[in-house]
């Protein structure tokens, strides 16, 4: 694994390619591929996924009864 600070090894997002290779080895190729996507593409996919849920509470860690739901202060 080459962890040089050489600018040629750095992607436009600021992370060197060895970082993504490490992600692939430790977390799997799918997650490394996701991380390689440009930020706007990742945000667009997350936005589309978020819109597919019925309510904002669907993305909450806790059920609405315990988290305050959409009306929480």
β-pair partners for 10: 16
pLDDT at 18: 93
pLDDT at 59: 60
pLDDT at 48: 86
Distance of alpha carbon 8 from alpha carbon 28, whole angstroms? 25
Distance of alpha carbon 25 from alpha carbon 18, whole angstroms? 10
pLDDT tens, N- to C-terminus, the chain (73 residues): 555 555 556 666 678 999 999 999 999 999 999 999 988 999 999 888 877 775 655 566 666 666 655 555 5
């Amino acid at each position: 694994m080459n962890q040089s600070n050489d600018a040629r090894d750095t992607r436009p997002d600021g992370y060197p390619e060895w970082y993504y290779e490490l992600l692939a080895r430790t977390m799997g190729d799918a997650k490394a591929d996701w991380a390689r996507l440009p930020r706007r593409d990742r945000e667009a996919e997350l936005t589309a996924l978020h819109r597919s849920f019925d309510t904002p509470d669907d993305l909450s860690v806790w059920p609405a009864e315990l988290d305050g739901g959409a009306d929480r202060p």
